[in-house]
Amino acid sequence: MRTNYCGQLNTDQLDQTVSICGWAHRRRDHGGVIFIDLRDREGLAQVVCDPDRAEMFKIAESVRNEFVLRITGKVRRRPAGTTNANITSGEIEILCHEIEVLNASITPPFQLDDENLSETVRLTNRVIDLRRPQMQKNMMLRYKVAMSFRRFLDSRGFIDIETPMLTKSTPEGARDYLVPSRVHPGEFFALPQSPQLFKQLLMVAGFDRYYQITKCFRDEDLRADRQPEFTQVDIETSFLTETQIIALTEELIRTVFKEALDTDLPNPFPRMTYQEAMARFGSDKPDLRVTLELTEVTDVVKDVAFKVFAGVANSENGRVAALRVPGGSAFTRGEIDEYTKFVGIYGAKGLAYIKINDITQLNETGLQSPIVKNIHEAALKAIIERTGAQNGDIIFFGADKEKVVNDAIGALRSKIGHEKNHVTGDKWKPLWVVDFPMFEYDEEGKRWNACHHPFTAPKDEHLALLETDPGKCLAKAYDLALNGWELGGGSVRIHKADVQSTVFRALNIGAEEAQLKFGFLLMPCNTVHRRMVGWRSAWIVSSP
């Protein structure tokens, strides 16, 4: 029915007769000449309908937006001054010879180029929404990215292996979606949170290098970067060190960005320890485009009269962090109140601040804030020096449990950075975050939990800490952050049964429970020397 896609036509087809199919994106009647912009997945082509072909012209007069058409005509150059450099077909147009209405359409619920649509309207009319150029672009980008992943991994000896969707429930950090069994009443399958255990079995079985672009399911609350059902690129490989798998993955990401977006990422990516990332940015996936940083002031406020600071500074796991915003003394009271509400989302009980009016007067004359009178001069001087504050700046403070401060002030850093243009000119800022802690303590459950999963290998020099001081044990784990998003992450897996058993004991998983849940991984044949690494990347394409 067609010879070409609309959006691929260009001057190479000049004077050729072509047939194209698509949707009428727009129809314009210019007093005797009708123009139809015909759209398909590749883009637009301008069709010119002259009245000298009466039958064809009559049909063109009846065409409305979103009619499905088949058009045959001759490709010719657009008249001088009417070209469109923004589209591939912008130098040509099609002089229509024949037009066929394959399907008529009622008036669509919105214009496809309308950028101010609510989520409700879009999802109510999802098929129409997916016709919008931005959504078509997203889907095509997703396809290009997937193909780039496949080409790279195939060329490096990785094998695409499909793993089961109906499996038994295993602890992986989120709730499972359960599927009832028809043949075993009262029993349930679990949908996989990831192919975690299957790919480890594949390594034991000797497949060496595996990948899969697969669906994963997690029964957890919706977030901007997480849906209950999402797609990830899952990779596992044997006999590579932590350094080698990071290098391979970095090359993979650089290749994908170049092929899919024609973008050159830095080589190598910068690296930062988890501890440094949390101290400076309050996040293990910091947006490095934002130039603002957190400053540690816990030690200098332990003896101040302001009890909110002193109480936290002298408590276990308490943190007092400062965030200097250049030029922030111009913030209005209303803006500060809005920022106070914002940090409350993350559990912060308030947001203290000091406006710097005159740095030479470390008192209520030079520093504007309700808390200055309760902070002695030595502490104020240390805060000013550490943050590098200047006249006209504002310093915000977070004082609470370390996690609350990191979450709240880390999020505030990103919010203010983008709102007030405290950002670099870089479009992409990747970062490896390494040396994650093995465990985090659950105050409510009074037990240690795995930060990643219970199969993550500890640093060799920290093996002894597994039983003596789990909180200080670091893992062979690494995440790749990009512009404040977790692009992917992985770890070296435990390949020795005695180490795995020790980790289970640290997590309060007894021998009987471990055997019941993971016995197939703990049998003697699994103790063969192997190193395994996982890589995860989630894509969201539901909105621009």
Q: What is the 3-state secondary structure (H, E, C) of 127-170?
A: HHHCCCHHHHHHHHHHHHHHHHHHHHHHHCCCEECCCCCCECCC
Asked if residue 176 is part of any domain, the answer here is no
Query: Roughly what angle, to the nearest 10 degrees, separates helices 497-506 and 511-522?
Result: 150
Terminal Cα-to-Cα distance of the chain (whole angstroms): 32
Claim to verify: residue 412 and residue 430 sit in the same structural domain:
no
Claim to verify: residue 466 and residue 406 sit in the same structural domain:
no
pLDDT bin (cut points 50, 70, 90) of residue 175 is confident
* Cα distances (Å, whole numbers) of residue 510 to 170, 379, 398, 505: 15, 49, 39, 6
Query: Roughly what angle, to the nearest 10 degrees, separates helices 511-522 and 196-204?
Result: 50
CATH of the domain at 160: 3.30.930.10
Asked if residue 177 is part of any domain, the answer here is no
Task: Look up residue 36 and give its two tokens.
Answer: 């139809």
Claim to verify: residue 39 and residue 89 sit in the same structural domain:
yes
Claim to verify: residue 326 and residue 434 sit in the same structural domain:
no
Q: What is the mean pLDDT of the segment spanning 308-325?
A: 96
**Structural domain harbouring 484:** 128-166+193-273+426-544
- Per the CB < 8 A criterion, the answer to whether 530 and 495 are in contact is yes
Residues forming a β-bridge with 489: 479
Q: 94: how many CB neighbours lie within 10 A of its CB?
A: 28
Task: Look up residue 226 and give its two tokens.
Answer: 């997480």
Provide the pLDDT for residue 530: 37
Q: Residue 503 above 60 pLDDT? A: yes
Claim to verify: residue 11 and residue 80 sit in the same structural domain:
yes
Q: Is the dihedral of CA 197, 202, 208, 209 positive or negative?
A: negative
Residues forming a β-bridge with 324: 395
What's at 144, amino acid-wise? K
Residues 6+ apart with CB under 8 A from 49: 33, 34, 35, 36, 56, 57, 60, 96, 99
Provide the pLDDT for residue 274: 97
- Per the CB < 8 A criterion, the answer to whether 395 and 383 are in contact is yes
What are phi and psi for residue 507, nearest 5 degrees?
Answer: -90, 5
Residues forming a β-bridge with 233: 213
Q: Residue 528 above 70 pLDDT? A: no
Question: How far is residue 249's CA from residue 287's CA, in Å, rounded to a whole number?
Answer: 20
Claim to verify: residue 310 and residue 383 sit in the same structural domain:
yes
Q: Residue 542 above 50 pLDDT? A: no
Claim to verify: residue 224 and residue 143 sit in the same structural domain:
yes
Q: What is the pTM of this model?
A: 0.86
Asked if residue 173 is part of any domain, the answer here is no
Claim to verify: residue 145 and residue 91 sit in the same structural domain:
no
| pLDDT tens figures, 397-407 | 999 999 999 99
Claim to verify: residue 255 and residue 136 sit in the same structural domain:
yes
Query: Hunting for tokens 């001088």 — which residue is that?
Result: 80
Claim to verify: residue 398 and residue 375 sit in the same structural domain:
yes
Total domains in the fold of the chain: 3
The last residue of a domain, from among 419, 443, 469: 419
Asked if residue 137 is part of any domain, the answer here is yes
Q: What percent of the chain has pLDDT over 90?
A: 78
- Report the SS3 class of residue 282: coil
